[in-house]
Amino acid sequence: MTKTTFVNKEQLEEIVKEYPTPFHLYDEKGIRENARRLKEAFSWNKGFKEYFAVKATPTPAILQILKEEGCGADCSSYTELLMSDALGFKEDDIMFSSNVTPKEDFVLARKLNVTINLDDITHIDFLEEAAGIPETISCRYNPGGEFTINNEIMDKPEDAKYGFTRPQMTEGFKILMDKGVKHFGIHSFLASNNVEEEYYPILAKILFQTAVELKEETGAHISFINLSGGIGIPYRPEQKQADIYKIGEGVRKAFEEILVPAGMGDVAIYTELGRFMLGPYGCLVATAIHEKHIYKEYIGLDACAANLMRPTMYGAYHHITVMGKENEPADHKYDITGGLCENNDKFAIDRMLPKIDIGDLVVLHDTGAHGFSMGYNYNGKLRSAEVLLKEDGKTELIRRAETPADYFATFDFTGLFKDIK
């Protein structure tokens, strides 16, 4: 089976004349259309808002597109807060969900008056001492145990480092109310990259029921419930894409069944999607620069794990298209590699593909989220450019490629590297 790209060979050949490979390419049209679908799927909830997970694609031009589509920003660090604020995300437009949080991060979050999502009950006193307690705050809930869908274990929340236990949620709410908190949010994340449409509705039921219980136990006013992320994308061509409208309808039914009868029909629903919002609308464009014939057949690209870490880190699958050879038989078995001095620097192992020739353009699909953002400089490798394919078909360089001067910029060698570019 195959996957189609949002750019064709002729377009790509023109793009690479201006921007040398490797680079990450993003589809503005696809990003905007997807953001509108999500908003429409949850339009039944008057307070709905998507807080895009900045960590997935921390690129100002991409964040600006999402801001224009009505999204907020989900930040988890000092730097992400600074970036989001600089782009015009203000106060309620920013959700700050962090863990093992440094004091200065909380200080900045309070200065910007963003919504803070506490990860641990000990953070209550830590936040109060560092920056004071706001009137609106959220707590992250970890229900523990195993999370299953149709009797299949999707993940084990009890192994995750995040969140309050259920007893701690009640205790934490009471402590926070004593400290002046008037409005609460509840947040939880149970499993990642779920293409099962049942995931969000099941999570919603857990959080909605918890919200009702917490209101009864503490009298707290719960103003929002944040379903966080976890909706996945079909990385493999045989996987189906999750229907966001079915997901939204499933959450609506749970809302009507649990919250409305409890007099909580005014609760706003928030999401913090990253992969779902951006994943399919980005790709890594590379060129085949070497071939090797030993015990296996290898094709070496000018990209490496420094440009896309997921296959190396997780053994993750990313579909590969050899541009211009989409209709040729996939009758060659290759390991597709980068040039790091690490044997696990492989984008694919034993992948059946059309014959690849030196100079062929190769596209790695679904890198729009957790692609560029997970890049690094091991082996002195430099991170690539990011290019936006605009709705009108033109392109824009939205992040230039790093240079050796960038790599050496944090060193002080009294001018030794001053002439490096």
Catalytic residues: 341
| DSSP designation for 158 | G
Distance CA 161, CA 163 (A): 7
Tell me the C-alpha distance between 239 and 241, whole Å.
7
Q: Alpha-carbon Rg of the chain, whole angstroms?
A: 23
Distance from CA of residue 251 to its chain's centroid? 21
Sign of the alpha-carbon dihedral angle for 109, 115, 120, 126:
positive
Which tokens belong to 363?
């596209």
The set of residues, in sequence order, having a beta carbon less than 8 Å from that of 344 and lying 6+ positions away, is: 305, 312
Question: In Å, how far are 298, 311, 354 from 330, measured between CA atoms?
Answer: 15, 21, 4
Overall size of the chain counted in residues: 421
Residue among 236, 169, 208, 221 nearest 3 (CA)? 236
Query: How many C-beta neighbours within 10 Å does residue 80 have?
Result: 21
DSSP state of 262: G
H/E element, 23: strand 23-27
Supply 198's token pair: 């049942």
- If you search the block for the tokens 């890049």, which residue do you land on? 375
What does residue 68 show for φ and ψ, rounded to 5 degrees? -65, -25
Q: Which of 301, 309, 294, 303 is nearest to 356 (CA)?
A: 301
3-class secondary structure, 376: coil
Sign of CA dihedral 73, 179, 106, 86: positive
Which amino acid, one-letter code, is at 69?
Answer: E
- Whose structure tokens read 């103003």? 223
